[in-house]
A and B are shown apart, each in its own frame.
Chain A
Amino acid sequence: MKFTFDGRPYEARRGDTLAAALIRNGVHLMGRSFKYHRPRGVLAAGAEEPNALVEIDRGGARRTPNLRATVVEVFDGMVARSQNRTPSLRFDVGAVNDLLAPFLPPGFYYKTFMWPIGAWAKLYEPLIRRAAGLGRAPDLPDTDRYTQRFAHCDVLVIGAGPAGLAAAAEAAAAGMRVMLCDEQAEFGGSLLSDPAAAAGLHETLAALFANPRATMLCRTTAFGIYGDNLVGLAERVTDHLPDPDPALPRERLWQVRAKRIVVAAGAIERPLVFPGNDRPGIMLGDAARIFATRYGANPGRNAVVVTACDTGADVARDLAASGVRIARVIDLREGFRVTGTSGRLRVSFIGIERGGAREKIPCDLVAMCGGWTPSIHLYSQARGKPRFDAALGAFVPDTEVSNLICVGACAGDMPGAYRAGIAPVSSEGRAFVDFQNDVTAKDLELATREGFRSIEHVKRYTTTGMATDQGKTSNINALGIVAGALGATIPEIGLTTFRTPYTPVTFGTLAGHSRGDLFDPVRTTPMHQLAVAAGAVFEDVGTWKRARYFPRAAEDMHMAVARECRMVRDSVGMFDATTLGEIEVVGADAAEFMNRVYINAWTRLAPGRCRYGVMLGENGFVMDDGVVGRLAPDRFHVTTTTGGAARVLAAMEDYRQTEWPELRVWLTSVSEQWAVIAVQGPRAREALLPLVDGLDISAAVMPHMSVVEGTFLGIEMRLFRVSFSGEMGFEVNVPADYGHAAWEAISARVGACQGGLYGTEAMHVLRAEKGFIIVGQETDGTATPDDVGLAWAIGKAKPDFIGKRSLTRSGMSGPRRQLVGLRTDDPATVLEEGAQITATTDDNRPLGHVTSAYGGATVGHSIALAMIESGRDRLGATLQVRMPGRAIAVRVTAPVFYDPEGARLDA
């Protein structure tokens, strides 16, 4: 396989990670550190890698920064680039930071850049921001797909090393539904770098793959444990393929609900902290062994192994078996100290000292064996409390977590020879602890001198453990250094929180299919396609698409709305009102229930009649409104606002179930069952008459605010005589499946009566001319019924209703904002909605604001509604609408501009 790194071509073998392939090609310089831009090679061989971060560019939008070269699998034709360097990895001008390092201690930015005021954001911050960051963010919208799956299992085993495989095999043999996931491309964990284990591994895996009750997920990271054993898994599906099937997603999120979780996440080796421990060619012993044995990519020819435990001997043995010359094994337990290293882009010497005797050993590889840290991240996320194991030099699981166990190395279960304690630190010079963020042992000591004593403070002040590896290789060493500096024990210093995710998870994986129309369900009415065909411009109202207006050729919104309004006033218009919420309130106590929920009195509303209902919250403020028809003594057809439908039903159901369970009443949402077509205008009756199968809809039989059940061209119908336009009006309710047909039939009749379609914008203008409020526009959650002129609707004799007590709270008295109309001197001036109103131009105290403002299509002048402090006492007064740089004088009027007597409603 061929690939390029920074434009240079290389060859790789199947199964190589990018790091392994580069090492085999003799490339050790793979990245630059975050702060000092120091040249870096790999430290590790897995997901804990802090240094070798690369960008993989698959062309176009498919460019991904900050990937670990030790995790990225090479495919044929891969294009990989280094990051955070200008102009090249070998010669990076950012390395000037390294020369300035003496002046850039931890937190240096808190101590300066304060002069002059404002210069931080204008001058210093842009410089710092440019220097910071790692890779480049993608700059084109991602074209890949991501999917999500939910799964249930008896046992989820996390990690397919020896312990995890054994657990999975045992559970599978017992007939359980098993899921086994591993973050690597192959199952086996540490067995993969042990040739002697190959045969046994093959056999175990073959049995698991053959078991239909076992789900095997490689390239799948368990990144977090959430409530009640829900585990998040991120599966990398196609990133390793040269030419993936477009039907496959790039990644897949699994949300697995597991009866039991077995964490077999293994352990991560710790680096040693000594001066110059960060040069390319200095890596973890286990990583060197993995590159040599598993990948056949010897990370050096001439190695020095520095160790604090018996791991070093094993590493030296395996490296030697792979053909690496072992120049020396330096066992720190024998009193040695590392004094430093040299080599600009790769290590060339290591200096050691014992008993005053110093020595420089030439080498091109330094393998560090600082002991092992169990990966207790998931255990800790599941709220297990670990304890410190001094012999191991790490935290291990302690308290029990229900339905979760840790097995193998992550449980601290490892050979005694691998137990190191925390290795001694040589902190003179620059001994790195957090490699990516360039935090040295001295930095940590300085932080403690400056009073940062909690490990969380030290972490935040120095940024140790906050890099993209989240301190997997650095946290224990940092704890040891801070504890040493403070003369405290590690348990006293505490452990930083293990936060999700274990390794970074792609945003797209977490978002999944949720984009565009799948971001939130789009709700459309049964007549939607007809509105589309009629050229409607839509607006989003909640999750609904509503037709806002129907422009004809060359019409803008203003012209179209003006025409639609005139049409309704002059002849007839039809409007899709299906989105309103509809609830049937049924039962012997239905009227009593309505009495308690709405401010109105319902007992004496006769069947066949309608009433405008207002609902409050318990805080006394208007929550919703709508027309309610009484179909029978025990049956109400309630309508709500479009946006309030779900909220109103939930509130009603709450009171029905928990407050008044004794009432015999049932609530059913019928919003989806009815298509609702409003037919409004002086010719509305004429338009509908031929369609209602002989029903008498004359004013005498069917006056304003009445409801009747009948048929519409043979279809079941509930016909309401209601108006939100100020004209004679009907609302035809037919079963939703017939909405399309009914719309077409009405449309033909309306057309014959010189009418047509109108949208929500015209509806708003027409109702504003009548002074009808819209909940959420005139009201804002702080308006009482009286504030918006609806005190008349309150059933005064009722003992109680939702919100009644709040209306008499002391805070409700005093001057309140009240609904009024506004007129401008110039009838063409249209006010701006939201504009603030004051008494005079000298007084900036707002008295209220414009809630609705329109050109006023049919009244001959612009109109506005406003909520004004003590507005009803100000009728006739002149106030000022305050606009940028000017004020518009307005006269306060009653809020009804059109047909104040309501004669047209009764036509």
Chain B
Amino acid sequence: MKLIPCPICGERAEIEFAYGGQAGLVRPPPTATEAAWGAYLYSRENPKGALRERWRHIHGCGRFFNLTRDTVTDKFIP
């Protein structure tokens, strides 16, 4: 069980958090093309390496925040 650094509460155990998936997805307007909308919904980087991702301290302060993690070592990258 990892420790996750919440910007408000500090390091807490993983079970206090909800994972929010890849960060930085831009929600297209309703005029978006089918392909652009499909990509927003489903296409993901899924890198083997650094991943910018969202977390939420759902069982704590409730705050969403972004972190970068190496998906091979699971270590957060400052």
Contacts and interface: CB of A to CB of B under 8 A. Distances in A.
Given A227-B74, A800-B29, A800-B30, A805 B37 contact: yes
Contact of A804 (B1, B30, B41, B54): B30
Interface string B52-78: 001010100011100000000110000
A517 interface: no
Given A800-B30, A806-B41, 4 more contacts: A227-B3, A228-B2, A383-B73, A654-B20
Interface in B33-47: 34, 37-38, 40-41
B27 interface: yes
Contact of A654 (B2, B64, B73): B64
A653 interface: yes
Interface in B6-39: 14, 18, 20, 27-30, 32, 34, 37-38
Contacts of B14: 227
A133 B2 CA distance: 36
Task: Return the 7 tightest CB-CB contacts between A and B, nearest first.
Answer: A227-B2, A228-B3, A657-B64, A805-B30, A800-B30, A805-B37, A804-B30
A619 interface: yes
Interface of A: 226-228, 230, 255, 257, 383, 618-619, 650, 653-654, 657-659, 799-800, 804-806, 809-810
B27 A659 contact: yes
A810 B37 CA distance: 12
Nearest to A646: B58
B3 to A, nearest CB: 4
A658 B41 contact: no
Contacts of B1: 226-228, 230, 255
Contacts of A618: 40-41
B29 A809 contact: no
A335 B18 CA distance: 64
A650 B58 contact: yes
B37 A809 contact: yes
A657 B63 contact: yes
A519 B23 CA distance: 34
12 contacts: A230-B1, A255-B1, A383-B73, A618-B40, A650-B18, A650-B58, A653-B56, A658-B64, A799-B30, A805-B37, A806-B37, A809-B34
Contacts of A230: 1
Nearest to B26: A659
A809 B20 CA distance: 25
Contacts of A654: 20, 56, 64
Contacts of B34: 809-810
A853 B74 CA distance: 49
Contacts of B3: 227-228, 257
A895 B34 CA distance: 33
Interface of B: 1-3, 14, 18, 20, 27-30, 32, 34, 37-38, 40-41, 54, 56, 58, 62-64, 73-74
Contacts of B41: 618-619, 806
Contacts of B74: 227
A800 B18 CA distance: 27
A650 B54 CA distance: 13
A551 to B, nearest CB: 39
Contacts of A658: 20, 54, 64
A810 B34 CA distance: 8
Nearest to A802: B27
A658 B53 CA distance: 12
A655 to B, nearest CB: 9
Contacts of A619: 41
Contacts of A799: 30
A805 B62 contact: no
A854 to B, nearest CB: 37
Contacts of B30: 799-800, 804-805
A177 B30 CA distance: 58
A254 to B, nearest CB: 13
A230 B18 CA distance: 20
Nearest to B64: A657
A800 B32 CA distance: 12
Nearest to A617: B41
A658 B56 CA distance: 11
A399 to B, nearest CB: 12
Contacts of A805: 28, 30, 32, 37
Nearest to B28: A805
A498 to B, nearest CB: 17
A230 B4 CA distance: 13
B62 A653 contact: yes
A658 B20 CA distance: 11
Nearest to A799: B30
Contacts of A659: 27
A97 B10 CA distance: 61
Nearest to A228: B3
Contacts of A810: 34
A800 B63 CA distance: 25
A505 to B, nearest CB: 16
Contacts of B28: 805
B55 to A, nearest CB: 11
A618 B37 CA distance: 10
A385 to B, nearest CB: 12
B34 to A, nearest CB: 6
A800 B30 CA distance: 6
A334 B20 CA distance: 65
Nearest to A807: B30
Contacts of A227: 1-3, 14, 74
A226 B74 CA distance: 11
Nearest to B23: A658
Contacts of B29: 800
A799 B29 CA distance: 9
Q: Quick one: which of B28, B63, B64 has the most chain A CB within 10 A?
A: B64
A367 B41 CA distance: 66
A93 to B, nearest CB: 48
A230 B14 CA distance: 11
B43 to A, nearest CB: 13
